[in-house]
Chain A
Amino acid sequence: MSHHFIEFDNVYFSYPGGHEALRGVSFRITHGEKVALLGLNGSGKSTILLHTNGLLLPTRGTVNVGGIPVTRRTAPEVRRSVGMVFQNPDDQLFMPTVEEDVAFGPLNMGLEIEEVRRRVADALQRVGAEDLKQRAPFQLSGGQKKAVALATVLSMEPDIMVMDEPTAELDLRARRRVADIISRFNHSCLIATHDMDLARELCPRAILVADGYVTADGPTPEIIKLFTSVI
């Protein structure tokens, strides 16, 4: 299954208003690779992630996911294989109950109701949130929201996972659980994080971004050494 790859080729992106957030980003992640995306606040990590499933489209350059060039037209198809966990779970959760929120993705994929229920139960169990099933996402603590947000993506059983700060706000046990989920996920994974321990533990490879450029790409320990030496 070598088709689970992500390829950025000289990607430029400017936000409306003119801020140029990406200035020629290129990298390739092959099947099964787990890659950490490192960089200071505002360096462009979230912006890169939003390009992996066509939520943002390059102003110049191309993004290719599993052989499909990401365009407005192909985006819905790409989104079936790329699961994205957002930086802020409040943006991600919007249904009245946790259960319905986790079911949202699978239902959109047109799955049978029985299959949807199985996936919801499975995803909630994996993040340790079975008990929260009937709760309103509003009511949850920051860490619980984060766990549920992860479940909403796991339930879609994506081929590629893209995560923005998956461990921010998590307590030790929840962080451990997320790390286990990621390590057991045997497809490609791109993780933007400030959690260096997580990067070191889960991702053999890291990409360092600064000011919208990829400034380094290589084995995680070396990249972290480089990163910490420049700040």
Chain B
Amino acid sequence: MSLRAMHSGTGHSPISALALLIVTLLYLGLMLSVAPEALARLLWFALYPIVMAPVAGEDYGHIFCRSLVVLPFVLLIGIFNPIYQTEPAFTVSGVIVSRGWVTFVSIVVRTLLSVQALLILVDSVGFVGLCQSLHRIGVPSVLTTQLMMVYRYMTVLLQESLDMTRARQARGYRGGSMSLSMWGSYCGQLFLRTVARSERVHRAMLARGFDGVIPVLKENKTWSGRDTAAVIVIASIFILFRWGPLPALFALG
């Protein structure tokens, strides 16, 4: 994702930032409340990122790959389930699958889907758009401004590290692995530069009257009838996924 997209979003979403935020929150709420054993039901929810990514102008494959970064983390959390929950859940062609394995897969799937839904949201409305929408649904500005500041420092960090990498390459550094001592000084430099840069950015904000709250000029798109319609339709589908009588997508559970 480019820095620009991260900042202000691709803007390709056909619905407003606020509507997409509501849809995403509904999705997370309903999807995460599916019982751990109800794998079949959970898998229906996997349709959302697959369908929504292209609608919001993004590539699902790309979203999927990026969501994999959380895998090591969830594996660590879920890996004990198969060990402790050994009672059988169901059998697949004669092989008994324990409840532990089902809940383990369930944790992995839930996490991946959550991350994918959030990636779609942030990519499409941008971080600032997200903060502004959060503010509009009543999250206190202290919190949303904090979020924006954290994000602002992250971008500064990213830019500085990009600049430093370029500078290193421009002076003939040929890639390959850096020695440990080089890494040490690289990180130290990066830290100092980021602090100095953040200080200058903060100064510039103060100079223009910043008093702790980032003011909002406008929302990217205003709420329209189309948003209402989209939220109702999508919410109905989620409710169907969650409680409706659905055929199992795969022959399990």
Contacts and interface: CB of A to CB of B under 8 A. Distances in A.
A88 B214 CA distance: 21
A86 interface: yes
A84 B207 contact: yes
B209 interface: yes
* Majority DSSP secondary structure for residues of B touching A: helix
Q: Which of B4, B206, B210, B217 has most A Cβ within 10 Å?
A: B217
B68 interface: no
A13 to B, nearest CB: 14
* Majority DSSP secondary structure for residues of A touching B: helix
Contacts of A156: 208-209
B133 to A, nearest CB: 13
Interface stretch (A20-28, A100-108, A216-224): A100-108
B237 to A, nearest CB: 31
B253 to A, nearest CB: 44
**How many A residues touch the partner, as a band?**
35 or more
Contact of B197 (A83, A91, A103, A105): A91
Nearest to A90: B159
Interface string A106-141: 011100010010000000000000000000101100
Contacts, number: 75
Interface residues of B, number: 27
Contacts of B152: 94
A168 to B, nearest CB: 16
B8 A97 contact: yes
A76 B7 contact: no
B209 A79 contact: yes
Interface of B: 3-4, 7-9, 126, 128-129, 152, 159, 197, 200-201, 203-211, 214-218
6 contacts: A94-B152, A96-B7, A99-B217, A100-B218, A104-B214, A108-B215
Interface of A: 50, 53, 55, 75-76, 79-80, 82-84, 86, 88, 90-92, 94-97, 99-100, 103-105, 107-109, 113, 116, 136, 138-139, 152-153, 156
